[in-house]
Structure 1
Amino acid sequence: MMEKFSSQVLNPERLKALEIWLQETGIKLNQVNGQRKYGGPPDDWCGAAPGMGCEVFISQIPRDIFEDRLIPLFRAVGPLWEFRLMMNFSGQNRGFAYAKYGSPALAAAAIRTLNGHALEPGARLSVRRSTEKRQICLVGLPANTGEEQLLQVLQELSEGAEAVSLNSEPGGGSASAVVMYASHHVASMAKKVLVEAFKKRFGLSVTVKWLSSAKLLHGEPPRPPKAPSSPLKPHRRAYLDAVQPSPEPPLAPQPPPPFSRAVGGASSVAGPAAPVSPGAPFRLPPVDEVTLLQGVCEVYGRGEPLYHLQYLCTGADGFLYFSYQVYVPGLATPFTGTVQTLPGPNPVAVEREAQKATAQQVLGALYRA
């Protein structure tokens, strides 16, 4: 019992060392929402904000080790855009932290260099790539919720909401939504405030949770690309029919009703494209996979697919590996999988090639349905 109690007592020598380090370096730490943050960005940062794949997750940190030991260690790999140490009310850390660099290459270097690093005897750090979740699920919305109106409300109630995909719940009495945010941080902040905000503003009791996704285990080599997991078969068959000859034209979709009278009226939705003639042979148009997938979605009035690509690693073969989630408005489940592409002349070109590979896999899944 005494050993357990003593483990909760702060080490005064290490607290003093942290205080001296802060005074000598002039570094400022801000504590908010159970975490103590450096940077985001620091005052001397030059360049744009980091994109996806630039953050590492650090665990197995001794509870009385603080930023004076951790920040210099991780900054030795490269400049830090941000460092967040999770804290509890006692003043101890919670055993894990996040470090964000300016590029995925520096994040990969931190993993290679510092995973297994011994801070002290018997204490080795675990360093792996952060999942950086950016999608949350809203459950318990009115059945007549419209996507545009919901997105407008979310942008008023929280920061960084970028896109919404609505789904009808079984029974048709309510709806749910997948919301994509600009970063993990703003998604976390939204997750904390939306329940109370919806109750206060609309009298709605909604549930907010992270969108579940498959995790890549640390140390596991990237799997070869495989067919993506797919949504419900009736939806997949509808998309397949859209790109094959069909004797019956599809029905025009109905415009969604408004989310709330306080937000505005219903938004109009364009009707489907003209059906393919039953007697004409099927030929793919001379467009790339991304454009083709978008066209397939537009045929049924589904809207533009939403791509979420996350850099995983660079393989020994030189390929860049990405995981993806593709959200199609109106489908309950996103397409998920893994793709690989060769390095390109710039990040925009690499992202475009990864999108093409992703769209090709999704189209392949639709044809196999």
Structure 2
Amino acid sequence: MEGQQLQQVLNPQRLKSLQEWMLKSSITLTQVNGQRKYGGPPPVWQGPAPGPGCEVFISQIPRDIYEDRLIPLFQSIGTIYEFRLMMNFSGQNRGFAYAKYGDPVTASAAVMTLHHYRLPEGGCLTVRKSTEKRQLRLGDLPTSTNQGELLTVLRMLSDGVEDVLLKMPGPKGREVVALVNYSSHYAASMAKKVLVQAFRKRYGISITVKWMSFSKSKHVAETGQDDDCFTPPALNPLPKPSITPPHLHPQPLLHDVPSHPPIQPFFRAVGGPAGLRDEMMPQAPVNHDAVSQLQWICELYRLGTPQYEVRFHRTSSDGFLCFIFKILIPGLLFPLCGFIRILPGTSIQAMKVEVYRAAAEQAIQTMCKVSNLRPF
């Protein structure tokens, strides 16, 4: 009886179509940890792995629909870096999957085009931007912790560490906290599993490790707007700032970002080697590209690497494409959000460059307004 039910659930014709498609397209699917994966990267991929904001979450998938229908559908939007279909022990899919593209603009186009897409076999897909947590919060660190040396320690204990921001205790003596940014959700997940034990075993100290998330509410997920974000009041992009690097000594951007690391090194506090030097002052960008300029500012003030999240919003009556953006900067207590209008470009890549440029310009202006940072 159970065998007959399983036979009905799996649908032999659909399984046969999947096998024929794999042979015809030379696609390789790998089963690992309750999911079946394509790519990551695929054989034809060139360049680095995609950053944040490039993945979409697909739900409401009929249980007998497989990659032979889903991958070509999502490849019609752009080149897929990775596709993961969640599977259960019976061979059914679990009703949801993830598709990762090369850039956030292509991912936004997939959401815009395929959300509520009706499959010929039946069923209506739900497609949304994926929430990719890549930042961990380390608490209960020693008061003598040094930011540069903590970065070295974390890179020894876990893979994919991009940068770290140390928040020292305030006047009320609160705990020392570090915000650690990883290159991927997978790298952060692996680190979360090992860091507590590694710090206890190697250095004899007990720390806490938790996820950091910028998702405030369902309202944020659905609208892309956050009550705590800086949202420009107008639809048009703010005027372009002059972005010549300043030659004066910089002022602190936030009161809780230390201009100099603590004197006593982290290694000495936890029993490791001391004497490592801080990272050199980052060089100012030689071009006038706003994205490079924002990266330089964040390096200068030790704020971490900016992470861009872009979502297509609508097409206005005058033909402009409207995007909502959010830039997550680890050293800021809030994301920088805004609204951008651009004219349709000749390619997705061209539109991506224009959206990122306009987002970076707005972020620079906002940072100048809310801090003592001199305008450029």
Q: TM-score, normalised by structure 1?
A: 0.68
Structure 2, unmatched stretches of 5+, are 232-250, 253-257, 280-289
1:25 shift after superposition: 3.1
Partner in structure 2 of residue 191 of structure 1? 192
Partner in structure 2 of residue 311 of structure 1? 310
Partner in structure 2 of residue 213 of structure 1? 215
Partner in structure 1 of residue 114 of structure 2? 114
Amino acid at match of 1:312: R
Amino acid at match of 1:206: T
Aligned-partner Cα distance in 2 for 1:105–1:348: 9
Structure 1, unmatched stretches of 5+, are 229-241, 244-250, 271-287
Matches within 5 A, 1:286-297: none
Partner in structure 1 of residue 363 of structure 2? 358
Question: Is the alpha carbon distance of 1:335 and 1:41 closer, same or farther for their aligned partners in structure 2, counting shifts above 3 Å?
Answer: closer
Question: Is the alpha carbon distance of 1:354 and 1:77 closer, same or farther for their aligned partners in structure 2, counting shifts above 3 Å?
Answer: closer
With a CA cutoff of 8 Å and minimum separation of 6, indicate the structure with the bigger relative contact order.
2
1:306 shift after superposition: 4.5
Partner in structure 1 of residue 58 of structure 2? 58
SS of 1:214 mapped into structure 2: coil
Partner in structure 2 of residue 139 of structure 1? 139
Contact map agreement 1:85 1:93 (CA 8 A) in 2: yes
Could you list the per-position Cα deviations for residues 178-230 of structure 1 after superposition, in whole angstroms to 9, with x for gaps in the alignment?
Answer: 111223343333334434443443443532324343367566476899637xx
1:34 shift after superposition: 3.5
Contact map agreement 2:10 2:92 (CA 8 A) in 1: no
Aligned-partner Cα distance in 2 for 1:7–1:205: 47
Could you list the per-position Cα deviations for residues 276-321 of structure 1 after superposition, in whole angstroms to 9, with x for gaps in the alignment?
Answer: xxxxxxxxxxxx99979988997xxx64564332222265343543
Partner in structure 1 of residue 230 of structure 2? 227
1:116 shift after superposition: 1.2
1:162 shift after superposition: 0.9
**Of 214-223 and 125-134, the range deviating more from structure 2:** 214-223
Contact map agreement 2:138 2:177 (CA 8 A) in 1: yes
Aligned-partner Cα distance in 2 for 1:323–1:132: 14
Aligned-partner Cα distance in 2 for 1:11–1:73: 21
Aligned-partner Cα distance in 2 for 1:34–1:74: 21
SS of 1:77 mapped into structure 2: coil
Amino acid at match of 2:274: G
Aligned-partner Cα distance in 2 for 1:84–1:47: 20
* Matched-pair identity in %: 42
Aligned-partner Cα distance in 2 for 1:158–1:296: 23
SS of 2:370 mapped into structure 1: helix
Contact map agreement 1:340 1:357 (CA 8 A) in 2: no
SS of 2:262 mapped into structure 1: coil
Aligned-partner Cα distance in 1 for 2:132–2:98: 10
1:146 shift after superposition: 1.8
**Of 304-313 and 153-162, the range deviating more from structure 2:** 304-313
1:149 shift after superposition: 1.8
Partner in structure 2 of residue 325 of structure 1? 328
1:127 shift after superposition: 0.6
Matches within 5 A, 1:250-269: 255-261=262-268, 262-265=271-274
Question: Is the alpha carbon distance of 1:346 and 1:220 closer, same or farther for their aligned partners in structure 2, counting shifts above 3 Å?
Answer: closer
**Of 67-76 and 203-212, the range deviating more from structure 2:** 203-212
SS of 2:63 mapped into structure 1: coil
Alignment size in residue pairs: 322
Measured on the aligned residues, the alpha-carbon RMSD in Å equals 4.4
Contact map agreement 2:132 2:185 (CA 8 A) in 1: yes
Amino acid at match of 1:182: S
1:38 shift after superposition: 0.4
Partner in structure 1 of residue 68 of structure 2? 68
2:95 matched to 1:86? no
Could you list the per-position Cα deviations for residues 225-267 of structure 1 after superposition, in whole angstroms to 9, with x for gaps in the alignment?
Answer: 9637xxxxxxxxxxxxx68xxxxxxx98562533334543266
Amino acid at match of 1:208: K
SS of 1:155 mapped into structure 2: helix
Question: Is the alpha carbon distance of 1:97 and 1:26 closer, same or farther for their aligned partners in structure 2, counting shifts above 3 Å?
Answer: same
SS of 2:273 mapped into structure 1: coil
Aligned-partner Cα distance in 2 for 1:296–1:150: 19
1:148 shift after superposition: 1.4
SS of 1:163 mapped into structure 2: strand
**Of 10-19 and 31-40, the range deviating more from structure 2:** 10-19
Aligned-partner Cα distance in 1 for 2:68–2:208: 41
SS of 1:123 mapped into structure 2: coil
Aligned-partner Cα distance in 2 for 1:291–1:20: 50
